[in-house]
Amino acid sequence: MSEHSATPARRFDPGAILLTILTLIAAFIWFFPIYWGLVTSFRFDDETVTDFSLIPTNPTLKNYIFTIQNSDLPIWYLNSTITSVGVTVLVLLMSACTGYAISQLQFPGRKALWWMILASFMVPVSALIVNHFIIIADVKLLNSHLGIILPMLIAPVTVIIYKQFFDGLPRDFREAAVMDGATEFQLLFRIFLPMNWGITTALAIITFIGAWNSFLWPFLATQDEKMMTVTVGISAVQDAYGVAYGRLLAGAVLAGLPVSLAYLFFQRRVTQAITLTAGIKG
């Protein structure tokens, strides 16, 4: 028996080496559009259509400086930051509170609320865009940060995840804390949430990325160029540049930078958030 269990993995295995090489080639091809966009954004205008080397021969920041100075990109950045942070904070606060109440407290309508949340999880919010537009126009919030934020607060998944997380915590904690005279708010913010900041971090990152990237609603809600988010803005101005791909790509790189960095720094949290949203325990 013991001879057999000696693992054969160390043996020379041409199949394994071939698979690894194929993996590297596939990863290179997959990443290439991003890489090629990056490289082109560092080239001079005339070079973008003459120089096709993989590494820019004369790297320049000209496109970036031009884009920052001659477009509304800095304002769009500010708009995106305000709306994305706003959505993230509000969604997490509302979801944690609601999830906590449904999980830990007894109140009439609790079951009905839970079923409504589960049901709304199945409904496509993109079918409601026309009515969102009517409602937000009605309260005169088109072309405002709040108007961009409001319809994005419909996030049943985070409530569901919080509720399930609170359900999984041991009952004794709560009973002991209640004996000591802690209020429900202290329970939620001092005991329950701190027990696993990881979940909150993961949900915050994925909510932020989603808000930063959302296109359809901010696109409808902003006609005024000064109120656009980066995601909407960079597609709105492309005609103004003509075929200056270097500048377009510099704007695209800047628009994608915060979310890319959020992913690269918090790779494991993003993975956690995605497996949580899909209902798999990773």
Partner 1 sequence: MLRNRRTELLTAFVLVAPFLAVYGWLFLYPTFQMIEMTFLKAPLIGEGKWAGFANYAKMFRDPVMRIAVLNTAYFVLLTVIPGTIVALSIALMVRRLKGFMQSLILAAFFLPYVLPVTVVYVLWDWMTNLQFGMLQGPIALIAGEPTNIWRTTGWFMPGAAILTIWWTNGFSILLFLAGLRNIPAELYEAAELDGATRWQMFTRVTFPLLWPVTVLCLTIQLILQLKIFDQVYLFAQGGQTRATMVMVQYIYEQAFQKNNGGYSATIALALFVIVLAFSLFQFQVLRVRSVK
Chain positions 21 to 80 lying near partner 1, rule: CB under 8 A, are 22-24, 26-28, 30-34, 36-37, 40, 48-49, 52
Whole-number Å distance between alpha carbons of 239 and 46: 18
In the complex, least distance from residue 175 CB atom to partner 1, rounded to whole angstroms? 13
Instruction: Report the residue from 92, 202, 204, 220 that binds partner 1 according to the rule CB under 8 A.
Output: 220
Task: Tell me: does residue 17 bind partner 1 (CB under 8 A).
Answer: no
Nearer Cβ to partner 1, position 159 or 203? Answer: 159
- Give residue for tokens 């209640």: 178
Q: Which two tokens stand for residue 126?
A: 């993109």
Instruction: Report the residue from 6, 55, 134, 179 that binds partner 1 according to the rule CB under 8 A.
Output: 134
In the complex, least distance from residue 170 CB atom to partner 1, rounded to whole angstroms? 20
Instruction: Report the residue from 115, 173, 197, 215 that binds partner 1 according to the rule CB under 8 A.
Output: 215
Residue 81: exposure state from Cβ atoms within 10 A (0-12, 13-18, ≥19): middle
CA proximity to 37, closest of 58, 63, 8, 7: 63
Q: Which two tokens stand for residue 278?
A: 């899909």
Could you tell me if 215 and 232 are in contact, meaning their C-beta atoms sit under 8 angstroms apart? yes
Task: Tell me: does residue 120 bind partner 1 (CB under 8 A).
Answer: yes
Could you tell me if 209 and 271 are in contact, meaning their C-beta atoms sit under 8 angstroms apart? no
Which residues in 136-195 contact partner 1 (CB under 8 A)? 137, 150-151, 153-154, 159, 183-185, 188
Whole-number Å distance between alpha carbons of 133 and 268: 36
In the complex, least distance from residue 99 CB atom to partner 1, rounded to whole angstroms? 9
Q: Which two tokens stand for residue 272?
A: 């956690």
Size of the site for partner 1 (CB under 8 A): 99
Task: Tell me: does residue 95 bind partner 1 (CB under 8 A).
Answer: yes
In the complex, least distance from residue 245 CB atom to partner 1, rounded to whole angstroms? 5
Q: Candidates 64-72, 166-174, 190-198, 267-275: pick the segment binding partner 1 (CB under 8 A).
A: 267-275
Q: Candidates 56-64, 65-73, 165-173, 260-268: pick the segment binding partner 1 (CB under 8 A).
A: 260-268
Instruction: Report the residue from 147, 212, 227, 269 that binds partner 1 according to the rule CB under 8 A.
Output: 212
Instruction: Report the residue from 68, 143, 235, 244 that binds partner 1 according to the rule CB under 8 A.
Output: 235
Q: Which two tokens stand for residue 231?
A: 């995601």
Structure letter (DSSP) for residue 58: S
Task: Tell me: does residue 19 bind partner 1 (CB under 8 A).
Answer: yes
CA proximity to 204, closest of 77, 79, 87, 102: 87
Helices (H), 168-244: 171-179, 184-186, 193-195, 197-213, 216-221, 230-236
Q: Which amino acid is at 31?
A: F
Which residues in 188-207 contact partner 1 (CB under 8 A)? 188
Could you tell me if 143 and 221 are in contact, meaning their C-beta atoms sit under 8 angstroms apart? yes
